Amino acid sequence: MIGNSLRQLDPKEFDNHKARHLLNRAGFGGNAGQVAEIANMGLEAAVDYIVEYENSSSYGSTGEDAFNKDIMRPPTSSERESFRKVRESGNESALEMLRIKRQQRQREDRIQIAEMEEWWFKRLIESPRPLEEKLTLFWHGHFATGYRTIENSYHMFQQNNLFRNHALGNFKDDLVRGIIHDPAMIKYLNNDKNRKGAPNENLARELMELFTLGEGQDYTEDDIKEGARALTGYNIYDDEFIFRTRQHDTGVKSIFSRRGQFDGDDFVDLIFTRRSVSTFIIWKLYRFFVNDLPHEPSREVKSFVYAVGNLFKRRDWEIKPALKAIFLSEHFYEKTNINSIIKSPVQLIVQSMRCIEPPSKNRENMLRTLTIASDLMGQRLFAPPSVKGWDGGRTWINTSTMFMRHNTLLYLLTGQRPDGYAWEADSSPFKATEVLGSERSDPKKVVRYLLTTQLGVETPDADRVSTLLDYLKTQHNSINDHTVKGLLTLITAMPEYQLC
């Protein structure tokens, strides 16, 4: 029964429609040429190509020097000494100078985080390894950390690299263990304040509740208290993790009814002996990659998730085999799972950029505008609303974000900004007809082609076809850059465009 749940899709059934689904979910879609290319590879080669992205060219360095790491660096000992002297002297103007300098650094750092946001958006749009970026986004939402709390852009950058470097790595040893050594997370969940005799439970709690086991699953309040003791002394200095032995509680702890002089790494090992750990993260991956499940999951869905969970456990918490099994499965390509996820703001923007290739790419302020639009739609990179990350699903959509979504697409197609009424100069006119296939004269065929490719549907809805034909009629049925842009404007404003 369980073996059945992971049954592979019959390779003969892997067509353009399913290839598009795979591209949408394992990344951010693709243009018609890319869809056809993936379809032609055949199921297994296509999944390999997408998942084994380390074999394809990388987007370029995320080297440590990509951003300035010294803006928020801690003061040197001689600086500390001079601060102390200033404070002791009570010299008001010198104190004021220090305050101003501090504010300048903070301002500079806020500029850097804004640049980082644009940097990541560009990567999301342009990287030849879309799955790598998509998973980086997934882990960012899972191990959510917000810049506004930690006020250190370089730590956010380091964390982003952690997620990218181990996007398909080992959940236990790379990611969970990595996150308890990660400066941004240590700061965000106050583990820098967690010391022997004065424990802070924040990281211990979220480590189980949000990162590995699920709320109230498989652990008690006492396990949190004892786990917090194990994590004492896991601290940071500047940009590095540091284990402060004098802050660490070396006493015996009792976690999950086992006793020992555990430290934070032992705590992680213990967590991975719990039952819930094999399915908790798989459920989350399922909601992100397969179906965001507005309703109680069916039995079929449950047995699929348990089967992937078993595989995940057998393969010692490696993400790659689990994800591969999902992308190869018949279940993944079922009708109920295609177009079942409400696009996140990032997915909406990046997928549109990749599929339509609008001229906005050439606009100077494009990336800035897109980060603002994404924020107005409820998703700001490096600033998830809380440690829970983004709730996703239907919470993306309300009457206000609906208009923002339509207007953002309008911006991509026409250059009209979504956050006001100013138009940006259009440096290169949109050759919209390039999104068309070989058929460029028959209105009916053009309309059907656009609906199929842009909405990812097998057969376009008859009402939608006739609405678009109505539009072409007002344009004397001519197919040109202007009218194709008009068609795309309407298609991207359809409720079904919000799905992928």
Interface positions with other proteins (CB under 8 A): 215-216, 287, 292-296, 339-342, 376, 378, 386, 388, 391-395, 397-404, 406-407, 410, 414, 416, 418-421, 461, 463-464, 467-468, 470-471, 474-475, 486, 489-490, 493-496, 498-499
Q: What share of the chain is helix, strand, coil (3-state, %, to 5)?
A: 60, 5, 35
CB of 113 to other proteins, least distance (A): 21
Nearer to other proteins, 395 or 459 (CB): 395
CB of 284 to other proteins, least distance (A): 8
CB of 168 to other proteins, least distance (A): 23
Nearer to other proteins, 231 or 491 (CB): 491
CB of 341 to other proteins, least distance (A): 8
Cβ neighbours of residue 59 closer than 8 Å, sequence gap 6 or more: 123, 126, 127, 128, 129
Identify the burial level of 114 via C-beta atoms within 10 angstroms of its C-beta, where 0-12 means exposed, 13-18 middle and 19 or more buried: middle
Nearer to other proteins, 241 or 403 (CB): 403
Please give the C-alpha separations between residue 133 and each of 164, 168, 205, 271, 367, in angstroms, as whole numbers: 7, 11, 28, 28, 17
Residue type, 464: R
**Does residue 67 sit in helix, strand or coil?**
coil
Nearer to other proteins, 95 or 493 (CB): 493
Burial call 282-304: b when 16+ CB within 10 Å, e when fewer: bbbbbbbbbbbeeeeeeeebebb
Nearer to other proteins, 234 or 280 (CB): 280
d(CA 483, CA 355): 18
Nearer to other proteins, 56 or 220 (CB): 220
DSSP state of 423: B
CB of 376 to other proteins, least distance (A): 6
d(CA 135, CA 164): 7
CB of 45 to other proteins, least distance (A): 31
CB of 58 to other proteins, least distance (A): 33
User: Cβ(283)–Cβ(305) under 8 Å?
Assistant: yes
Nearer to other proteins, 170 or 340 (CB): 340
User: Cβ(142)–Cβ(297) under 8 Å?
Assistant: no
**Structure tokens belonging to residue 328:** 């190869």
